[in-house]
Amino acid sequence: MKNTIDRRRLLAAGGLTLSAAAFAGVVTGSALGLIPDAHAAGRPLTVSPKRIAALDYAVLDMFTVWGETDRLVAAADPAPLGYLKAPEGIPLTGGLKTAPVAELQAAKPDLIVITGRLQRSEAELKAIAPVVLITPDQAGGALESYAENMRLAAGWVGKQREADAEIRRIEARVKAIHEKAAGATVAVLMVNEGRVGMLPPGGRCSLISREFGFTNVVAPRTGAAPKKGGPKPDAAAIKAGNEKTLTDLKALNPKYVFILNKDRAVGRPEVGDHRALLGAEGWDSLEAVREGRAFGLTDVAWYLGEGGPTGMDLMVKDVERALGI
């Protein structure tokens, strides 16, 4: 069961002490949760950590930009991103889906910061140290959660001024994009294991419609999101699905098209890019393509690095470039 807590208590400066009794479960704001230390009952959890395990690319990005990587005792290997340098002299824990329990036990962190992909490992991790979950809130506001997460992490290392300055810079750039993009129709495509689909607003890449001001041609999703897993579609079903995507794109005729290639972001061998999968002739016939308004996104930033200052800069640049800003 999830319990909410006043977010302002979580965003205070590094000296804040939080009582373990305040946490009965995963504490959620619009962007983050705190998983209580199972062994902390009756003693305070001081959120001014000296030995941090950053199992989240966004937080690693923040600490790199602020020059605070000396506080890290373990970190997720940023090699898949390509734009972050690995901190020297600390163990790198591989990807974001498997909890590196043995490495963390050896590193002895006093705080573990995780991405949502590791939330299933809560029980194992909270037995080692208090855990903070930081993840963008696509539905509630990715920009707002970016700012909250930056201020939270800045409080741990005394970088509030730097965080506030970066947030103001991003907000100003987003405002300029919104002024130029407001009302323009858009389709956001994602390539995943040979399938090309259109993303609805409010999910992944929600920045494009919610904060940047484009109007997504796909209707908002109603009800629960489709469950992950299960049997994968066969080649015939994938081909039919891609044909439908192309047909829908032609009918909806968005002014702009953005493409996120998940396969490329996660290092999966590509079955093909969007143009090959949808058919070169059909793709080239789209008005947005003919008019030069179809753009690939920086895949690793949008899929893996969202929420860090360098990742956010790349994401904003993608859209500024599309609009000629």
User: Which pLDDT score, from 0 to 100, does residue 104 have?
Assistant: 86
Q: DSSP letters along 110-156, please?
A: SEEEE-GGGGGGHHHHHTTS-EEEE---TTT-HHHHHHHHHHHHHHH
Helical segments of the chain, H only: 7-10, 57-66, 101-107, 122-126, 142-157, 160-181, 235-252, 262-265, 274-278, 280-284, 287-290, 299-303, 309-323
State if pTM tops 0.85.
no
Cα–Cα distance for residue pair 180/325, rounded to 1 Å: 9
- Please list the pLDDT of the chain residue by residue as tens digits (325 residues): 332 223 323 333 233 333 332 222 233 333 333 333 333 333 344 557 889 999 889 999 999 999 999 999 999 899 899 999 988 888 887 667 777 888 888 889 989 888 877 777 777 888 888 888 887 776 667 788 889 899 989 998 899 999 999 999 999 999 999 999 988 999 999 998 888 999 888 778 888 988 899 999 987 754 445 556 666 777 888 888 889 999 999 999 999 999 999 988 888 866 677 888 888 888 999 999 999 999 999 999 999 988 899 999 999 999 999 999 9
pLDDT score, position 34: 38
Give the chain's domains with CATH numbers.
3-135 (3.40.50.1980), 182-323 (3.40.50.1980)
d(CA 286, CA 268): 28
Please spell the DSSP secondary structure of 42-58, one letter per residue.
TSEEES--SSEEEESHH
- Nearest to residue 277, comparing CAs of 264, 291, 290? 264
Kindly list the distances between the CA atom of residue 46 and the CA atoms of 49, 137, 156, 219, 229, in Å, as whole numbers in the listed order.
Answer: 7, 25, 10, 44, 39
CA distance 281 to 7: 51
Half-sphere exposure (CA, 13 Å, Cβ side) for 5?
Answer: 21
For the chain, the first-to-last Cα distance in angstroms comes to 45
pLDDT at residue number 202: 76
User: Side chain identity at 294, as an amino acid letter?
Assistant: A
* Residue 227: per-residue pLDDT: 58
